[in-house]
Amino acid sequence: MSSADPEREFLTIVTFGRSGSTALQAALNAHPHTVIRGENYNALRGLHAYVDAVAAAADRHNSGKPHHPWFGTARLDAPAVLADQRRHVITHLLRPKADTRWLGFKEVRYEIGHFTDADGLTDYLLFLNALLPGVRYVINVRDPKAAARSGWWREHPDAVSALERTVEHLGAAAGTLTDVLGPGRVALTEYEQWSADPSVLVSALTGIGFPVQEALLRESLATHLEHGQNSERR
């Protein structure tokens, strides 16, 4: 398949640490023709900034003269840069298999330490739609108090407050994305609900067009995941 193959669908898990995201990633990867890669330190944020800068330079300046301070802007092509980035991300970061039908990644670096407000978060998520056309978003949250007791959140000086604001921002982003992109693109999931009743997750994923096989999903969710000394679903 090529990066422009209309038969390929994209999906990204948008969440924060210790929210059940690795269990969710594993449940998706249990399905055939599906490759959902793990975290990448939000590498695509750098691409977002790069495309925005190229687009701004092309929009505000138009010089081909070598003595001009914006020499070269006359031939900048932001859409071509974006298409080039798409090929790069698919080939080198997401690395689909020959038969991959659903391709994507999960990322947990969406808390307020990385995105200070819902508008900035939404702007970046919309960039992902430009980069990976038609991407489905699984925006996953967990009760802030429960998440704050697990893993590395224990070292955060005010984890509950940070997570409460993060959950609020993720919910707002989910609403805006649905308003902008329309129905069937965003699933807002809650760890407490789908971990207790996998049918909740089946319904959410079906709603965004993912071809859920319930038996595979249930089997995967029943498998305990190891995370070193802080072992639990992440």
pLDDT tens column, 103-112: 999 999 999 9
Over range 138-144, report the average pLDDT: 97
Q: What is the pLDDT of residue 62?
A: 72
Higher pLDDT pick, 25 / 5:
25
Q: What is the pLDDT of residue 63?
A: 62
CATH class name, domain 9-43+85-221: alpha beta
Give the start-to-end residue ranges of the domains of the chain.
Answer: 9-43+85-221
* Mean model confidence pLDDT for the chain: 91
Over range 131-137, report the average pLDDT: 98
Q: What is the pLDDT of residue 6?
A: 53
pLDDT at 30 over 70: yes
pLDDT tens column, 37-72: 999 999 999 999 999 999 998 877 776 668 778 777
Q: What is the pLDDT of residue 79?
A: 95
pLDDT tens column, 84-131: 999 999 999 999 999 999 999 999 999 999 999 999 999 999 999 999
pLDDT at 78 over 70: yes
Torsion sign (Cα): 147, 225, 220, 41: positive
First to last CA, the chain: 32
Structure tokens at 143: 């009760």
Contacts of residue 37, defined as CB under 8 A and 6 or more positions apart, other chains included, come to 93, 94, 95, 104, 105, 106
Between 133-142, 181-190, 215-224, the lowest mean confidence (pLDDT) is in 215-224
Q: What is the pTM of this model?
A: 0.91
Structure tokens at 38: 């793990």
Q: Which residues pair with 102 in a beta bridge?
A: 9, 34
Q: What is the pLDDT of residue 5?
A: 58
The amino acid at residue 61 is H
Please tell me the distance from the alpha carbon of residue 88 to that of residue 30, in angstroms, as a whole number. 26
What element of type H or E holds 31? none
Q: What is the pLDDT of residue 164?
A: 97
Contacts of residue 92, defined as CB under 8 A and 6 or more positions apart, other chains included, come to none
